[in-house]
């Protein structure tokens, strides 16, 4: 039977990789809805190719432009705009699978709408889990949604965990999760040069091609910090159950260790189509368009401990998760504002960690009981971060 898919954030790096995989399997998947923030040209091309029932774009002006350009094309796509439309296409009855690939806090409400509707949710938008992990996982349990991680590390951990207990279960012999990270483009740069790096340098990731926000997060290693929090929620693990391991080649995507001394790892070329195809087909497997690893040509796989002096954002993320309450949401919001300011060349690279740290120091301890409380904490932190910039 053909499954209907909604791709939230279709025009981004993950969105485009998802459509590449889907296009290889027209016998299995059809596109129900595609969404984008403002990239009318890319969304138009995607609509012409995939003929979705709906396309959603943020502003009304872009909606009108896209609708006008689609008119007469022979493609019968309804163009909608705004936040309610995102939630609508994420939760529609016809939809079986939702790819949550909007970047940042903007992904929270549509991703939650998909979870609450009990969909199979492919989670790329780690920020929604960082912001509202408790509420998010509670909604997964209540709705019976199937949550599958797309983040390559979390997808690897999911693949290595015991098949019938995909969480940190000591009774099943799981003893440690090893979360790998490349260390980004500045892993070996002399520390005194960090303050002078440009957005272009920060976005030049040595192994992965990604959107600009996550690329900067990889350079500060805030990405690994967010992933630590993401892993704690996804796999019901404590921060001390997870060890971050620097692995510059990005071939081992993460590992799980067991009480008998075994370590299981998932390896592959650094191409997000692998975790995307894994999650789409799970529990089966299917072609992702990714070449298998050639071990005759793998010169070296190396591993080391992270340098916390170079990457203070790692320490901040661990602190925020341990502090709990709205601290992770506050840190995430401050980081989004700081990264944006760095990309606009309004602050230095090293200011990102400074702003994050100052905003986090003022975070409230109380657990946000509702999504509105999470969003309130997010908005407050953004205001504070902007004032510091």
What are the phi and psi torsion angles at 115 (to 5°)? -65, -50
Could you give the C-alpha distances from 29 to 1, 95, 230, 333, in angstroms and in order?
Answer: 9, 11, 28, 35
Strand (E) or helix (H) holding 34: strand 29-36
- Residues 22, 36, 121, 384: which binds ligand NAD (CB under 6 A)? 36
CB of 124 to ligand NAD, least distance (A): 3
- Name the one range near ligand NAD by CB under 6 A: 3-11, 167-175, 287-295, 370-378: 3-11
Residue closer to ligand NAD, measured from CB, 85 or 178: 85
Residue 127 within binding range of ligand NAD, rule CB under 6 A:
yes
Contact of 347 with 389, CB cutoff 8 Å? yes
Residue closer to ligand NAD, measured from CB, 7 or 145: 7
Q: Which residues bind Mg ion (CB under 5 A)?
A: 151-153
Residue 211 within binding range of ligand NAD, rule CB under 6 A:
yes
Whole-number Å distance between alpha carbons of 46 and 249: 32
Of residues 257-316, those binding ligand NAD (CB under 6 A) = 272
Strand (E) or helix (H) holding 371: helix 371-388
The full DSSP string for 337-365 is: HHHHHHHTTSS-TTHHHHHHHHHHTT---
Plot region of 183 (φ>0 → left; ψ -120 to 50 → alpha; else → beta): left
Interacting residues of 190 by C-beta distance below 8 A, sequence separation 6+: none
Could you give the C-alpha distances from 327 to 124, 156, 383, in angstroms and in order?
Answer: 21, 27, 15
Contact of 229 with 154, CB cutoff 8 Å? no
Q: Which does 214 bind (CB under 5 to 8 A by kind): Mg ion, ligand NAD, none?
A: ligand NAD
Binding footprint of ligand NAD, residue count (CB under 6 A): 26
How many C-beta atoms surround the C-beta of residue 45 within 10 A? 12
Residue 62 within binding range of ligand NAD, rule CB under 6 A:
no
- Residues 5, 31, 106, 244: which binds ligand NAD (CB under 6 A)? 106
Q: Which does 39 bind (CB under 5 to 8 A by kind): ligand NAD, Mg ion, none?
A: ligand NAD
Whole-number Å distance between alpha carbons of 8 and 88: 11
Here the tokens at position 346 are 């309004």
Q: Which does 139 bind (CB under 5 to 8 A by kind): ligand NAD, Mg ion, none?
A: none
- Residues 4, 5, 6, 14: which binds ligand NAD (CB under 6 A)? 14
CB of 152 to Mg ion, least distance (A): 5
- Residues 31, 40, 79, 103: which binds ligand NAD (CB under 6 A)? 103
- Residues 95, 102, 132, 355: which binds ligand NAD (CB under 6 A)? 102
Residue closer to Mg ion, measured from CB, 11 or 152: 152
Residues at the interface with ligand NAD (CB under 6 A): 9-15, 36-37, 39, 58, 101-103, 106, 124-127, 151, 208, 210-211, 213-214, 272
């Amino acid at each position: 039977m053909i499954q209907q898919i909604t791709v939230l954030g279709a025009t981004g790096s993950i969105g485009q990789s998802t459509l590449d995989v889907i296009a290889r399997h027209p016998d299995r998947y059809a596109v129900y809805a595609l969404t984008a923030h403002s990239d009318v040209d890319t969304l138009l091309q995607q609509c012409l190719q995939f003929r979705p029932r709906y396309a959603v774009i943020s502003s009304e002006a872009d909606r009108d432009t896209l609708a006008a350009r689609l008119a007469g094309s022979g493609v019968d796509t309804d163009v909608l705009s705004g936040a309610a439309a995102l939630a609508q296409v994420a939760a529609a009855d016809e939809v079986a699978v939702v790819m949550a690939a909007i970047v940042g806090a903007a992904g929270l409400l549509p991703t939650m709408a998909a979870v609450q509707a009990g969909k199979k949710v492919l989670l790329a938008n780690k920020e929604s889990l960082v912001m509202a992990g408790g509420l998010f996982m509670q909604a997964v349990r209540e709705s019976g949604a199937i949550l599958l991680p797309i983040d390559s590390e979390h997808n690897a951990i999911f693949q290595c965990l015991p098949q019938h207990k995909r969480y940190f279960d000591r009774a099943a012999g799981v003893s440690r999760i090893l979360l790998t990270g490349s260390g980004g483009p500045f892993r070996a740069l002399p520390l005194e040069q960090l303050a002078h790096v440009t957005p272009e340098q920060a976005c030049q990731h040595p192994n992965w091609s990604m959107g600009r926000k996550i690329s900067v997060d990889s350079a500060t290693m805030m990405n690994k910090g967010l992933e630590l929090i993401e892993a704690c929620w996804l796999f019901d693990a404590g921060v001390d159950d997870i060890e971050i391991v620097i692995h510059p080649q990005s071939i081992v995507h993460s590992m799980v260790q067991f009480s008998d001394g075994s370590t299981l790892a998932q390896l592959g070329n650094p191409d997000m189509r692998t975790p995307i195809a894994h999650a789409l087909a799970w529990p089966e497997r299917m072609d992702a368009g990714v070449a298998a690893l050639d071990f005759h040509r793998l010169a070296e796989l190396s591993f080391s401990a992270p340098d916390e002096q170079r990457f203070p954002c790692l320490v901040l993320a661990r602190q925020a998760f341990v502090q709990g309450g709205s601290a992770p949401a506050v840190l995430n919001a401050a980081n989004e504002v700081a990264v944006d300011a760095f990309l606009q060349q309004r602050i230095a690279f090293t200011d990102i960690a400074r702003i994050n740290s100052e905003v986090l120091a003022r975070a409230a301890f109380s657990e946000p009981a509702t999504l509105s409380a999470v969003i309130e904490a997010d908005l407050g932190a953004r205001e504070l971060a902007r004032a510091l910039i």
